[in-house]
Each structure stands twice: as structure tokens, then as C-alpha cells.
């Protein structure tokens, strides 16, 4: 149920948004004043990729549209910052906490603190591996294993006629994160049955362009015979394209590239022929998140898992979709 905020303990948080008081009289913050207003504490992973920027915008705009007061913090890809932010939201007695966990493990203690304080938690975008699923109300986001499978299926189709070995390098997302674990697993599951597909190198690029470029440069030096790059997001793929061009090779031709996300810059590179295939992962989770938040705050039941609907894009499909692309 809605609760009044009496204190605002904001120490240690970056970029916290405070909105005006909702309930008349007394509390320093919003919510719980009988007018039905809701305050959400949201802990974001960081600003590591185009996907993340679009996701943050979606959350902020949807909160505003839904009349939900948003306290937002950016964890700069560090779990300790997220735990600090969640503890601060508990102290502030927000009505609901939503967060996108940077890694899967290590959340039980802080989630139990939220439960003890009777503050519902919604996982958004990424999952946690806690055995006790009662520590959160629902998990809204993509099926990352399925995304990895889609990437693998394209590869199977692309190389269906040949028997020569196909040398693959993989740029993984943030180590220990759900999308890195699952996108690797789904891809492996599909290509694993055919001996010709060989992952000759696999390393994290931390979902960033700069790291994607750096790691791809090292891959290119160590392996003169790369056929395919599988990057767990567009940004790392875009960084890798710079490395490939820098090495005098043609991305999309000498080295085929598959990425995940389908943000505008990725889609542009796909339309330009530098990427061969993109598996979509939608960052526009804000509207659904706000709907779920309203329900859990009211004590209504919500599905334990809400999966985002997504598609895939070839080069031709990217050309057609680009003009209407929102992110
Ligand atoms: O694919 C990547 C971002 O968790 C789905 O995180 C998200 C991933 C996304 O940095 O670009």
C-alpha cells in the first residue's frame, strides 16, 4: 500500500530526481497522502549503450505520463552503487522499487531488506538468480536466451550449404549479466550441434563501443581467419566495425556480423551492409513498467514474468524500418 515519505536520505546517489509533494501536509516527499500518487525508486545500470539511453528515456517519459514520481539513479555499471541506491529508496519509503540488475547474482540481502520494509520490487530488463522468487513481484523484459537462438539460427541458414569450418569470434556483454549469460547460451545451443561452427575466441566487451573496438583489435591480431563476429549488442558491434576497417578488412563481407538490440546506429550499419543481421531487443519498457507498478502498489496480482515482443532484421528489412525507428 502507499506509504508516506518522511525522510530523504540521498547520500551517495547520483542524478536523483525529486518531484514535488503529493500528499497534503507533513511529508517531505511525495505519495501516500490519500491522493493515490505513487513514488518509484528506479536504479538504472548505467549509460553504457544506445539501448540503455533509450531505456532511460522510456522510463522517465512513461513515469511522467503515468503521473508517477520517479527517483532515478545511474549505477555506472557497478552493483555496489545499485545496492546503495536500493537501500536509499528503502529509507525514503518509496512505494515501489524497480531496477535493472547489472549482474545476476548477489541480490538476496538487499531484496530481503525491501521485503521486510514491505516495499514491492519489480525487476526490469535483466533478471536475478535468487532462488526465492518471492523477493520480487514480477520480471519485465526480453527473453535473452531466445535472442541468442535467433542469432544462431541465422548463422545456420547463412552457412547451410558449406562444410568448411566457420570461425566465429564472440563479443560478450558485461560479465555475469543476464543478457551476456543467456545470449551466449542460446547461441551455443543452436550452433553447438554442427561441428563446422567454431567459436575461436570469446571475451567481454562490457556492452560498450570502446571496449568492443579494443577487444576486436586483439581478436584480429591473434586470428587472421575470422569469418563471423557475434556481438551481444549493437554498440560492441559498431566498435568492432571500426577495428575491422582499421585492419583493412570489409565488415559485412570479409567478416559477417550479427548483433543484438536494433538501435538506430546499429540499424543504419545494417542498412549500409556493414552488419548482416540484427536480433531486436526493445528498450521501450517504460509504459508496461508503470502499469505494473500501479498494480503492485495497489496490491493487485501481476504475472510473474512479462516478456517483451521482438523481431529480427535483415539488411533489406533495416532499410525499410529505419525511417520509423523510435530509438
Ligand atoms: O542489450 C545492451 C545494454 O540489458 C538488454 O544492456 C540490456 C542490454 C542491451 O547495455 O545494449
pLDDT computed for residue 16 by the predictor = 37
Residue corresponding to grid cell 531487443: 281
- The alpha carbon of 140 and the centre of ligand 1 are apart by a number of angstroms equal to 14
For residue 213 and ligand 1, the question of a CB distance below 6 A is answered with: no
Residue corresponding to grid cell 549509460: 47
The CB density around residue 312, as the number of other CB atoms within 10 Å, is: 17
Can you tell me which atom of ligand 1 is nearest the CA of 208? 10
For residue 179 and ligand 1, the question of a CB distance below 6 A is answered with: yes
Cα–Cα distance for residue pair 175/104, rounded to 1 Å: 10
For residue 49 and ligand 1, the question of a CB distance below 6 A is answered with: yes
- The alpha carbon of 51 and the centre of ligand 1 are apart by a number of angstroms equal to 6
Q: Whose CA is nearest to atom 8 of ligand 1?
A: 179
Alpha carbon distances (Å) from 260 to 148, 172, 275? 8, 11, 11
pLDDT computed for residue 35 by the predictor = 62
pLDDT computed for residue 8 by the predictor = 35
For residue 51 and ligand 1, the question of a CB distance below 6 A is answered with: yes
**Residue 308 DSSP label:** P
Can you tell me which atom of ligand 1 is nearest the CA of 126? 4
pLDDT computed for residue 63 by the predictor = 98
pLDDT computed for residue 69 by the predictor = 98
Which residues are registered as beta bridge partners of 85? none
Can you tell me which atom of ligand 1 is nearest the CA of 100? 4
- pLDDT tens track for 92-116: 999 999 999 999 999 999 999 999 9
Cα–Cα distance for residue pair 272/257, rounded to 1 Å: 12
SS (H, E, C) 60-97: HHHHHHHCEEEEEEECCCCHHHHHHHHHHHHHCCCCEE
Low-confidence ranges of the chain (pLDDT < 70): 1-35
Residues for the chain: how many in total?
327
pLDDT computed for residue 36 by the predictor = 74
For residue 181 and ligand 1, the question of a CB distance below 6 A is answered with: no
Torsion of CA 203, 243, 270, 199, to 10 degrees: -30
Mean pLDDT score of the chain: 91
For residue 52 and ligand 1, the question of a CB distance below 6 A is answered with: yes
Cα–Cα distance for residue pair 32/40, rounded to 1 Å: 12
173, 209, 265, best to mutate for ligand 1 pocket (most atoms within 8 Å of CB): 173
Q: Which three cell numbers stand for residue 31?
A: 505519495
46, 51, 178, best to mutate for ligand 1 pocket (most atoms within 8 Å of CB): 51
Q: Do 196 and 163 contact (CB within 8 A), yes or no?
A: yes
- The alpha carbon of 58 and the centre of ligand 1 are apart by a number of angstroms equal to 14
Q: Phi, psi (5° rounding) for residue 176?
A: 85, -5
Strands 277-280 and 305-307: unpaired
Q: Do 44 and 50 contact (CB within 8 A), yes or no?
A: no
pLDDT computed for residue 102 by the predictor = 98
Amino acid at each position: 500500500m502507499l506509504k508516506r515519505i518522511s525522510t530523504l536520505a540521498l547520500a551517495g546517489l547520483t542524478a536523483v530526481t525529486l518531484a514535488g509533494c503529493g500528499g497534503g501536509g507533513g511529508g517531505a516527499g511525495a505519495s501516500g497522502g490519500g491522493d493515490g500518487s505513487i513514488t518509484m525508486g528506479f536504479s538504472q545500470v548505467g549509460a553504457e549503450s544506445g539501448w540503455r539511453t533509450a531505456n532511460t528515456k522510456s522510463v522517465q517519459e512513461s513515469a511522467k505520463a503515468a503521473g508517477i514520481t520517479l527517483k532515478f539513479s545511474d549505477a555506472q555499471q557497478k552493483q555496489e552503487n545499485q545496492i546503495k541506491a536500493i537501500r536509499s529508496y528503502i529509507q525514503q519509503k518509496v512505494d515501489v522499487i524497480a531496477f535493472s540488475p547489472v549482474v545476476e547474482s548477489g541480490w538476496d540481502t538487499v531484496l530481503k531488506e525491501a521485503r521486510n520494509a514491505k516495499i514491492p520490487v519489480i525487476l526490469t530488463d535483466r533478471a536475478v538468480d535468487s532462488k526465492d522468487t518471492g523477493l520480487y513481484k514480477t520480471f519485465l523484459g526480453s527473453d535473452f536466451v531466445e535472442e541468442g537462438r535467433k542469432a544462431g539460427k541465422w548463422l545456420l541458414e547463412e552457412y547451410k550449404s558449406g562444410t568448411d569450418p566457420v570461425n566465429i569470434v564472440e563479443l560478450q556483454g558485461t560479465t555475469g549479466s543476464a543478457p551476456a549469460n543467456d545470449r551466449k547460451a542460446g547461441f551455443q545451443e543452436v550452433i553447438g550441434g554442427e561441428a563446422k561452427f567454431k567459436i575461436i575466441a570469446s571475451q567481454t566487451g562490457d556492452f560498450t563501443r570502446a571496449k568492443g573496438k579494443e577487444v576486436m583489435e586483439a581478436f584480429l591480431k591473434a586470428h587472421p581467419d575470422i569469418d563471423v563476429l557475434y556481438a551481444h549488442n549493437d554498440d560492441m558491434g559498431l566498435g568492432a566495425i571500426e577495428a575491422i576497417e582499421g585492419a583493412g578488412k570489409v565488415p559485412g563481407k570479409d567478416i559477417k556480423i550479427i548483433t543484438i538490440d536494433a538501435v538506430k546506429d546499429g540499424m543504419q550499419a545494417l542498412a549500409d551492409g556493414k552488419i548482416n543481421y540484427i536480433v531486436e531487443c526493445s528498450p521501450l519498457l517504460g509504459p508496461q513498467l508503470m502499469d505494473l507498478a500501479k498494480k503492485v502498489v495497489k496490491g493487485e496480482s501481476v504475472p510473474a514474468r512479462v516478456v517483451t515482443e521482438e523481431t529480427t532484421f535483415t539488411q533489406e528489412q533495416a532499410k525499410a524500418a529505419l525511417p520509423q525507428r523510435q530509438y
